[in-house]
Structure 1
């Protein structure tokens, strides 16, 4: 049985409409969760909102939202006023246009959802839209009110269904040029580049997310188990500082060529290529 839908509405492209359902594609519910306890009593503690000036607790009915316009100066908004600003949902994923799948910049991706037909009567229209996008290798850009916000959604064919990914708005994504501004222009060529390409080629394979485990989650599970069994927990030793690495030597060793003498004509190209790691 398919998981319960978290949203149902209409996928609309021009005059073609199809009842659809959204299902969460990712969940953190299986992660280990901790509660905050009072060390002395072992009881759980609860949070309280405290007035920053008086130090007294503020009851829920007396708590309101405020936008800071100056230091210590706020515009107060009541819940009804905030609710009035929320867009009204018409339960429609309205497709505004299409883009080529190869043109998608995944830096804008927010959260993935599975998109399915809402019922049996929607399957034909759903299949028509899905196969049309698959054949054209295109993705749909749609707008909808999801979870009290107007969201931009990217929809792609995926097996017998579709993937609907909510997108971050432009103002939410930081500039790549600012992040990369201090990276120096370094030209890599010759044996160094060939060795790097060889290493990558030997490690190429198909994507299988099951091959990657959540080591932190597993370590937490082991920690809880050890505490229950009364075993002593050993502190983790401090990490060792990495030594200066000869990049060319590291590349040759990685490629299984550490014992092979490089050709004379390439010796000069690799001699000065030394960098620090860490």
Structure 2
């Protein structure tokens, strides 16, 4: 197996204590099925080209420049060297500013996961001391660094013999929940409905097992490619039927395994009773 290359190397710094560390990608999409775009007529791959929207001319790479739109069809052009000057230089320091409870950050702010490991000898004592102190206190470190030409915040926590770091989204990048939830009306929930829903949750309580999550899209695409190579056809799988909920209470009772109460018989009208007599 080829050695995993670090995405970034620097120093984890807490006050006057520091140790060399390396950051490795924690999640990879390299195993996903990927497609190329092919010319149906020739079977050859096609390439992407940039075309001037007004003239229709091909624009070569060395003629392309970044542009910030300030008005319709009006741009401020920014050269690559200007972008490089504006971005802060990396000082290769992962500076810890504070320690917080491990569950203090809303997962909404989590961006990408990374593994953080000693960059020096495996027996790096300072790294082990920091890691075990964080584990004993059940705390995570809030740190910042210039990573991949951007200033980023990170949450770092102990994980096995190493640490896990999540880059964090900035507050301005997170949409306000009010924009989505603002139109949802407040409702008073019937006690029996809430009791049944809680019972359903309790009966389905489990633990998180990432291996139990199947990527059905990848499996379906892999099967499609295999079938085409073997000259087979793949039949479309039927979508599971979705029952229309007519009575929420009855649906809750059925899901909880509670027998449906029999509806009381309607009283016969007085006229009907006289006729029967």
1:33 CA drift (Å): 0.2
- 1:138 is matched with 139
Change (3 A) 1:96 1:78: same
**Is 1:56 the counterpart of 2:71 in the alignment?**
no
| CA–CA separation in structure 2 for the residues paired with 1:130 and 1:164 | 12
RMSD, matched Cα: 2.0
Structure 2 unaligned residues grouped into runs of 5+? 265-277
- 2:274 is matched with none
**Is 1:181 the counterpart of 2:188 in the alignment?**
no
1:15-94 alignment runs, 5 A limit? 15-94=16-95
Change (3 A) 1:50 1:236: farther
| CA–CA separation in structure 2 for the residues paired with 1:143 and 1:91 | 11
Change (3 A) 1:136 1:239: closer
- 1:8 is matched with 9
| CA–CA separation in structure 2 for the residues paired with 1:95 and 1:177 | 32
| CA–CA separation in structure 1 for the residues paired with 2:148 and 2:98 | 23
Please tell me whether the aligned partners of residues 12 and 95 of structure 2 are also in contact (alpha carbons under 8 angstroms). Answer: yes
Please tell me whether the aligned partners of residues 94 and 142 of structure 1 are also in contact (alpha carbons under 8 angstroms). Answer: yes
- 1:227 is matched with 228
| CA–CA separation in structure 1 for the residues paired with 2:199 and 2:122 | 53
- 1:211 is matched with 212
Quick check: which has more Rg, 1 or 2?
2
1:241 CA drift (Å): 6.7
After superposition, what is the alpha-carbon deviation per residue over 1:203-232, rounded to whole angstroms, capped at 9, x for unaligned?
A: 111210101100000000111111112223
Please tell me whether the aligned partners of residues 100 and 139 of structure 1 are also in contact (alpha carbons under 8 angstroms). Answer: yes
1:79 CA drift (Å): 1.1
Please tell me whether the aligned partners of residues 19 and 122 of structure 1 are also in contact (alpha carbons under 8 angstroms). Answer: no
- Normalising by structure 1, what TM-score? 0.88
Change (3 A) 1:106 1:193: same
- 2:254 is matched with 253
1:234 CA drift (Å): 3.8
Secondary structure at 1:103's aligned position in 2?
coil
| CA–CA separation in structure 2 for the residues paired with 1:144 and 1:252 | 53
1:104 CA drift (Å): 1.2
Change (3 A) 1:245 1:123: farther
1:245 CA drift (Å): 2.9
- Normalising by structure 2, what TM-score? 0.89
After superposition, what is the alpha-carbon deviation per residue over 1:93-125, rounded to whole angstroms, capped at 9, x for unaligned?
A: 011112212321111110000111112276211
- 1:123 is matched with 124
| CA–CA separation in structure 1 for the residues paired with 2:214 and 2:240 | 22
Aligned residues: 262
| CA–CA separation in structure 2 for the residues paired with 1:234 and 1:260 | 39
